[in-house]
Amino acid sequence: MSPEPVVRPHPEPVVLNIGGELGALVVHWNADEIDTPIEISLAGQDAVRSHQHVLERPLGGQTFYAAVFDSIAQGPYTLWVGGEVRAREVVVSGGEVTELHWETPAAS
């Protein structure tokens, strides 16, 4: 896991810098993925990556688990988990928030 203090609730608001050619990407995932780093690279530039961790985000009496990529240039992206491609051609549009839902239903 990470030396960063991410395994705690993060109730603070997320401020997104979007507009013009900049957008954001939110990847929703399950609670058991907390602290998992998700890497992102511009399509065709697999070697140049940045990352965000899946964080616990309490909001309005519910709890969400998500990684938030802010202020990224519009275009297609590749997402990586554990060094392996998880999704390709994820399109981020300027001035918008793209959301991916990787949650799996809880076993009954």
Shortest CA distance to 66 belongs to which of 99, 94, 88?
99
Please give the C-alpha separations between residue 30 and each of 40, 60, 70, 80, 101, in angstroms, as whole numbers. 19, 18, 20, 16, 9
82 falls within a domain: yes
16 falls within a domain: no
Q: How many domains does the chain have?
A: 1
Shortest CA distance to 14 belongs to which of 75, 77, 80, 58?
58
- Per-residue model confidence as pLDDT tens digits over 58-71: 888 889 999 999 99
* Strand order across the beta sheet in which 62-73 lies: 55-59, 62-73, 22-28, 97-101
Residue 107 CB-density burial (10 A; 0-12 exposed, 13-18 middle, 19+ buried): exposed
79 falls within a domain: yes
18 falls within a domain: no
41 falls within a domain: yes
2 falls within a domain: no
- Per-residue model confidence as pLDDT tens digits over 70-106: 999 999 999 999 999 999 999 999 999 999 999 987 6
Whole-number Å distance between alpha carbons of 39 and 28: 14
Q: What is the percent of the chain with per-residue pLDDT over 70, rounded to a whole number?
A: 87
pLDDT at 18: 95
- Per-residue model confidence as pLDDT tens digits over 1-31: 445 556 776 667 788 999 999 999 999 999 9
- Residue 89 belongs to domain spanning: 29-101
